[in-house]
Structure 1
């Protein structure tokens, strides 16, 4: 009896100290223990049961129950496959035939992703059993027969095992206590102050106000306002936007700051916000603002934590973090107006920043150097696409955005040149033709404007402004018949528009005056 108890605790001790395993669970009676490792080429989970077996059918049922519990654990750990080792330490083997039950591993789960190998160690098969276990865990197990085994010897090993386990638990707790939130609260205060400033100077939903205080706008960035890569992360569009991002920063930022410490957190947050704005600059031509990119950077930092402490990550926050990321990205793709490119950019930026600064007390210079190299390549690639490729691309959205900026600056000729170049390159975008016709009207090129507006009304008949502008052009060309048809289409699309009705009355009056 003492020998089996001694072997039970000695095996646990050796797996802890030499095998790289940590205790997952210890039963109240101390006769069953589950251990885990993240080392490759070893069983992920080892379950050891100190129990005197009588019948092999009891062992079979216990193996099946254990395999089911392992399958549930596999799902919680988010791993594709789970290999486990089940060890029975018994004084005597079952009285009936039992060896055939251990010949093949037990497989669990609909797709057989969980595999359970079982080894039985008893007085008769002690050396054979220990050799089998040694093969699985790549650690040499031998029982020293010269040691006198009594209750005190067993209790001493047991105390050592529990001491090592408690020390590991204490070390794991320290991972989450590398600093109290400080910059999180400062960033929240800055967001709220900036929101108040926006509301007092035109409103947080006013485009001109947002642009004045630093919203991301591609044309202005291309013209030297690089600081717009950073300023959007402290601006928010409307109270709900501010509220959601402030709550996310309060909970998520505080957690990341506890994990990484104050300065590391600040670096991760700011860099993630920058990469989020940079990704938005490259992939989204619309004006944007908000701390979402930086907040997704916090998610990226937590994912990096998961690569450094995979077991701890999935036992604590992992499933929730991954689930929230998936839900938010899915909503970003489904709901119009959400800048998902900024979210993804922030997520990547946070992961990269975390790989450079790494976690406290983790030197890992080679990995940090690799993270720095990946970061430089990523940022340089995005900057190249944004500053070099994008201005010369045939992306209709970017072309229209550029033309709009020129039009707002009253540089009609420049807008016309940009749009005309797009036409020559073969664009078929109704928006490009619409703005091209607008510049042609301003430049007195009425016949060209007419031709382009006819293209727009054919390709996108629901754009009422195109029909209206076409009617205005026909009026200036004194083609009242076609003008009347065009304005009728405009009224058909938007029957409540008073301007369209007034133009119809004017055309009718012109027709009557010309008769």
Structure 2
């Protein structure tokens, strides 16, 4: 019994995994595999099918179901356009005419996903290898022998399994570097300060807020520089505290688990400072709240997305981008929200994350982030003090 086609089927899958793809679905009989690499420009999705195809009717029907399934995945990733590579590994081609359906792009009406189907025909091995190589830009098979044993196929499947498990383990470690501590500490801190405000006249009383360190431009201009930091610990009313506390809990635990405790604390505090600085420049109103620091956590996650694009867009990325979009729209729509503080905080969080970097990663571009941060901060402070918004 020959295992030649089976080996090439698994060899292709293994080559794609080495190239950065990840198995997102493996059929129970292992004769169908879906691979994804959401940052791949040409084919973010590859579907591989092992079947000895007898008739072209089955091929046509399967192609339609495949492109519809791929379009569902496109919608899941919020992509406007999507192109999927669909490869059939077969020992012999269908007995009837199949050429109009394969080796060319296919698209269904009212479906935004485009599919390129290839029939890898073992009876025309060299032509099939050359065509696949042309489409994906590399030869995924290497040196091909005349035949392969069941043992070799099993060894290749075992290797794929080991590499997949190792990749999943590395990915989990990205999100679980440490257990959160400072997130809970900050939640306790802002709750304690809120109680102090309520005990001393109320958290909605502007005089109480001013006394405890809310952002007030004339006071900052008079030398009370600490007001760049203290507002992130103050909240105006219970609803303000509750919403920011809830956001801090979910975003804070995620960012602290990814970046580590000390990096998280620095990112949070610097984001709060940068948010207040932006508010100092663009808003003359008395303000307080941890929103700038919390938006800085969004900025830190965006930096994570740059460093780990594939993991980001496949896991938390779409939700994070959607949350940022919704919050920005609300910020511009509701006049009472200090949108400049929010945007400043997000920029600050991104810059701070760039300076600190992720744990156990190369120190790429950190000096550039540091230089950019120093320049922006210096210009912002100069502008805020020389052209005060009061």
TM-score range normalised by the length of the shorter chain: over 0.9
Partner of 2:86: 86
SS of residue in 2 equivalent to 1:96: coil
Alignment of 1:69-468 (within 5 A): 69-107=69-107, 110=110, 112=112, 114-142=113-141, 144=143, 146=145, 149-366=148-365, 368-388=366-386, 390-391=387-388, 398=389, 401=390
Change (3 A) 1:332 1:109: farther
Query: Which whole-Å CA distance do the structure 2 matches of 1:325 and 1:101 have between them?
Result: 42
CA contact (8 A) 1:298 1:347 kept: yes
SS of residue in 2 equivalent to 1:139: coil
Query: Which whole-Å CA distance do the structure 1 matches of 2:4 and 2:52 have between them?
Result: 13
Query: Which whole-Å CA distance do the structure 1 matches of 2:79 and 2:379 have between them?
Result: 33
Cα offset for 1:141?
3.6
Change (3 A) 1:108 1:163: farther
Cα offset for 1:89?
0.1
Change (3 A) 1:78 1:228: same
Query: Which whole-Å CA distance do the structure 1 matches of 2:144 and 2:291 have between them?
Result: 64
SS of residue in 1 equivalent to 2:158: helix
Query: Which whole-Å CA distance do the structure 1 matches of 2:242 and 2:20 have between them?
Result: 45
Query: Which whole-Å CA distance do the structure 2 matches of 1:384 and 1:61 have between them?
Result: 67
Cα offset for 1:120?
0.8
CA contact (8 A) 2:300 2:349 kept: yes
Query: Which whole-Å CA distance do the structure 1 matches of 2:325 and 2:145 have between them?
Result: 58
Cα offset for 1:165?
0.6
SS of residue in 2 equivalent to 1:87: strand
Cα offset for 1:111?
7.5
The Cα offsets for residues 275-323 of structure 1, whole Å up to 9 and x where unpaired, read as 1101111111100001011011111111222222222222222222222
Partner of 1:434: none
CA contact (8 A) 2:15 2:141 kept: no
The Cα offsets for residues 450-498 of structure 1, whole Å up to 9 and x where unpaired, read as xxxxxxxxxxxxxxxxxxxxxxxxxxxxxxxxxxxxxxxxxxxxxxxxx
Query: Which whole-Å CA distance do the structure 2 matches of 1:339 and 1:39 have between them?
Result: 34
CA contact (8 A) 2:84 2:114 kept: yes
Cα offset for 1:82?
2.5
CA contact (8 A) 2:11 2:140 kept: no
CA contact (8 A) 2:38 2:314 kept: no
1:12 paired with 2:13, answer yes
Cα offset for 1:73?
1.7
The Cα offsets for residues 311-353 of structure 1, whole Å up to 9 and x where unpaired, read as 2222222222222222222222222311111111111211221
Change (3 A) 1:147 1:55: closer
CA contact (8 A) 1:71 1:108 kept: no
Query: Which whole-Å CA distance do the structure 1 matches of 2:60 and 2:363 have between them?
Result: 46
Cα offset for 1:192?
1.3
Query: Which whole-Å CA distance do the structure 1 matches of 2:220 and 2:361 have between them?
Result: 37
CA contact (8 A) 2:273 2:345 kept: yes
Alignment of 1:18-37 (within 5 A): 19-37=19-37
Cα offset for 1:88?
0.4
Partner of 2:3: 2
Partner of 1:474: none
Query: Which whole-Å CA distance do the structure 2 matches of 1:108 and 1:194 have between them?
Result: 60
Query: Which whole-Å CA distance do the structure 1 matches of 2:108 and 2:208 have between them?
Result: 60
Aligned length: 389
Query: Which whole-Å CA distance do the structure 2 matches of 1:313 and 1:103 have between them?
Result: 32
- The structure whose Rg is larger is 1
Length-normalised TM-score, structure 2: 0.94
Query: Which whole-Å CA distance do the structure 2 matches of 1:55 and 1:331 have between them?
Result: 56
Cα offset for 1:163?
0.7
Deviates more, 1:88-97 or 1:377-386: 377-386
Change (3 A) 1:147 1:380: farther
The Cα offsets for residues 154-180 of structure 1, whole Å up to 9 and x where unpaired, read as 111111111101110011001011111
Query: Which whole-Å CA distance do the structure 2 matches of 1:87 and 1:292 have between them?
Result: 49
Change (3 A) 1:158 1:71: same
Cα offset for 1:56?
1.6
Length-normalised TM-score, structure 1: 0.72
SS of residue in 2 equivalent to 1:286: coil
Give the CA RMSD over aligned residues: 2.0
CA contact (8 A) 2:11 2:141 kept: no
Change (3 A) 1:176 1:30: same
Change (3 A) 1:143 1:281: closer
CA contact (8 A) 1:333 1:340 kept: yes
Query: Which whole-Å CA distance do the structure 2 matches of 1:210 and 1:324 have between them?
Result: 29
Cα offset for 1:38?
5.3
The Cα offsets for residues 356-375 of structure 1, whole Å up to 9 and x where unpaired, read as 21221111423x23322332
